[in-house]
Amino acid sequence: MPKLKDIPKIDRPREKFLAKGSDALSKSELLAILLGSGIKGKNVKKLSEQIIRKFGSKFLDLTVENLLKISGIGEAKALQIISALALVKRFYDEKGPKENLVLSAKDAVFLNSDLKDKRKEYLTCLYLNARNALLRKEIVSIGTLDKGIVHPREIFAPALELRSAGIVLVHNHPSGDPSPSKQDEEIFDRIIEAGKILGINVIDFIIIAGDETYSFFGNLQQGDKNALYISDGIQHSLFDLLIDQKMEYNQQISKTAGKTNKPNNNASNKITFIDLFAGIGGIKIGFEKAGFECVFSNDFDKSCKITYDFNFARKQKSLICADIAKVSSNLIPDFEVLTGGFPCQPFSIAGYRKGFTDEGRGDLFFEIIRILEDKKPMAFLLENVKNLKTHNNGETFRIIYKELQKLGYYVDDKVLNTMEHGNIPQNRERVYIVGFLNQEALNRFSFPEKIKLTKTIHDCLESDVEEKYYYNGKPLYEKFKKEITKKDTVYQWRRKYVRENKNGVCPTLTANMGMGGHNVPLVLNKKGIRKLTPRECANFQGFPKDFKLPNIADSALYKQFGNSVSVPVMERIAVNIKKALAC
């Protein structure tokens, strides 16, 4: 029998406790620390496992006589265990029984508040009864979350033992960004499916990143972080919520299906369009301001759906949150104009310019081709980063043109800058590609001309900003203080230095803002140095003042506005498309 000293230090109960805390230890490992040493021929870890295995759920009712029946256990070790049990019971009786009820994501986060400071990734599970009272909290895994490592049996074995009615999974992101990763979503889907089979409700999957959180349950409840896990005495299940969402999707599709593909055929006499890769609706706002009607919108990002539906769902159809590659053209209602700001990261400098080889993002352009070929709308508008034109020595752009022209479209493009074509003080260059089935329509179309920039950054900045956006007294403040000296411009932190924008406008807002920290542009005012707020980012993209921001993580909002489009530029292009189609 190997001795305890032969076990690697990190796996010894005492060292493991000191390094990872009590939640990382099994019951037998905790008992091993209490016993201190084993017996002849059996180390303390094996002895503890034998005791736990033998008595199981009856452990709390042990007597000295029970323990003395185990070979090698004498009075001394038996008294160690029984005295510890008696002490715990004494304190518990004095305090009185108290249930930990987990009724919302807030309660679950409170029970896992230690995760926000962890430098490694943890996955913990809260096991609940039918009244959502906590039965047990366990650490499922430590280290990078991977569906190959986190198996459903590791999560549901204790649930079956405890006869748990539901579970809440809590995971941390040391990166500081609570947005779910692809791995998170894959594990989320897998666990929900397993829970449905076993009859155990998977109530929520929460991600903690510092002081910010993301709740899958809250996401499915229109972004309500305080949504209750129980209503009318019934415990909610993510599986049922997802089924409800799928039914809503099918109902929306059935309502919009069957329309004809002719100009001005709808009751409002407006030109219809669809909004692919819709994000939070920047293109939609611009086109609707120009008099178009949106009949379908889609995006894969669940946090975008929260913001989109928060602004539009009560008046119109919700955003369909699904992989566009899995959406059949037959499920998309007929329309006259296709719009899409297809993923730009594969072609941007910040995204390392992988282009069409960026599986899952770069190849999404060909989903646009599929839908154009199947639906044959009269026109389209596509938006992307300026670098799309020069990517791979221009070969990528040539392929895009060739594919669009093969479908019979007459195509044109132009790079427009928000500060020159939208009267918004942001230096944002994007390439816009238009196409028409009718060559005369293309001949009638023209891209917007440059206009005078009359707005300043102060028109986009807020006067009353929360303290959390200020860097005063925080790391790097002294460096910022030396280099950020002007109040009439916006600065950028470029990893090792601060860059001033000499033209007095905001630098390009990017999706990297969603990573937090200094990726968000910086400004100086009389109170100190701070980063832009999400609302200010909305202003620098030209979103209307009544555009509402849901109660979700700032990091998600920063990413959304960095990925979005400049609304005034979209509106001006839409007006010209409408004129070209009118004749």
**Active centre residues (catalytic):** 344
Sheet containing strand 491-493, strands side by side = 498-500, 491-493, 522-525, 528-531
Instruction: Give the whole-angstrom CA distance, residue 164 versus residue 201.
Output: 9
β pairing state of 293-299 and 272-276: parallel
404 and 411 in contact (C-beta within 8 Å)?
Answer: yes
Instruction: Give the whole-angstrom CA distance, residue 341 versus residue 384.
Output: 6
477 and 398 in contact (C-beta within 8 Å)?
Answer: no
DSSP designation for 565: -
Measured torsion, CA atoms of residues 395, 398, 399, 403, in degrees rounded to the nearest 10 = 180
What are residue 204's phi and psi, to 5 degrees?
A: -160, 155
Instruction: Give the whole-angstrom CA distance, residue 379 versus residue 388.
Output: 21
167: closest CA among 209, 136, 141, 212?
A: 136
Q: At what angle do helices 182-198 and 152-162 cross, to 10 degrees?
A: 40
Query: Which residues contact residue 84 at a Cβ distance below 8 angstroms, ignoring those fewer than 6 apart?
Result: 34
**DSSP letter string over 34-80?**
HH-S-BTTB-HHHHHHHHHHHHGGGGGG--HHHHHTSTT--HHHHHH
